[in-house]
Amino acid sequence: MRPVAGSGLLVVGDVVTDVVARHRGALAAGTDTVAAIRTVPGGAGANVACWAAHAGCRDVTLLGRVGAESARWHEAALVAAGVRPRLVLDDEAPTGAVICLVDEADGAERTFLTDSGACLRIGPEDWSAGRLDGVGWLHLSGYLFFSATGRALVTAAVRDARARGVPVSTDPASAGFLRELGTARFLALADGVDVLVPSRAEAALLAGAAGPEEAGAKLSGRFPVVVVKAGPDGACVARGGVVRERVPAPSDVVVRDSTGAGDAFTGALIAARLCGDGWREAVVAGCRAGATAVGRVGGRPPERRGPT
């Protein structure tokens, strides 16, 4: 797998509205808990695209499905982040929404309440091989794997990408949803993916192994490259059943909200590879982006002007 410098990135995945509630300590059941609450654009797929653009990828496109009620807001946010939006309007379902409960007293640990809405309805009718024109890398958000129509899109997209020699990456997205789907089913559906980018918990679940390095090594017997994100413990790269690179996380990181940190890592990693960087340099870039992300509220990088 050899990335092509200057080629475009196509991300297919979820676009959601995040309601981030930052509180301190346990929630008070049956009454009020003081919190700082913000509504921000989010979604793992959209976040990856925005962080890739922020990291210097100059040609980033996002394919997603949204409800008509917030389509213009999401489109404007993507454009401001330097991403070319290709949003399919759903007339029957609203844009997905996630309530992110962030406990500031517990390392900004997150709990999600998720209504996937229109995201679950993206499907093969929204895909065509022509979407890969000018694309040098395809990233499929793991949330696609959790609906029947999304899985059908994954199958078609991976088939068309392989026919064109376009590298494909994916992230398992959610350990909770992964348990519901079944690890064997996910692994079968992900057959043909070149780069798997799981979190520590997702890697352990998929591999049946406790540590990120052990899990990454085991999974790399199935995928050409596995990059395991381990948060404050950095990340590792495994190929051919062996851990090839170990990268520590940046020190002295101030954590405000860990929402989207993994998406930031993935976006920066892909951008670095598309620019021709080696795996170690790409993982270093990913760790830096993740460290930046946890210092911000919400899952997106600072806004900048981008393509229209």
pLDDT of residue 5: 39
- Which of 20-29, 85-94, 140-149 has the weakest average pLDDT? 20-29
CATH T-level fold of 8-15+44-92+118-294:
UDP-N-acetylmuramoyl-L-alanine:D-glutamate ligase (3.40.1190)
Percentage above 90 pLDDT, the chain: 80
Task: Tell me the pTM.
Answer: 0.91
Torsion of CA 276, 283, 114, 77, to 10 degrees: -50
Domain limits of the chain? 8-15+44-92+118-294
pLDDT of residue 189: 95
Convert 131-170 to b/e letters by CB count within 10 Å (16 or more is b): bbeebbbbbbbbbbbbbebbbbbbebbbebbeeeebbbbb
Q: Would you say residue 305 has pLDDT above 70?
A: no
pLDDT digits (tens, 9 = 90+) for 160-200: 999 999 999 999 988 888 999 999 999 999 999 999 999 99
Confidence of residue 107 (pLDDT cuts 50, 70, 90): low
pLDDT digits (tens, 9 = 90+) for 243-273: 999 999 998 877 777 778 999 999 999 999 9
Give the distance from CA 267 to its chain's centroid. Answer: 7
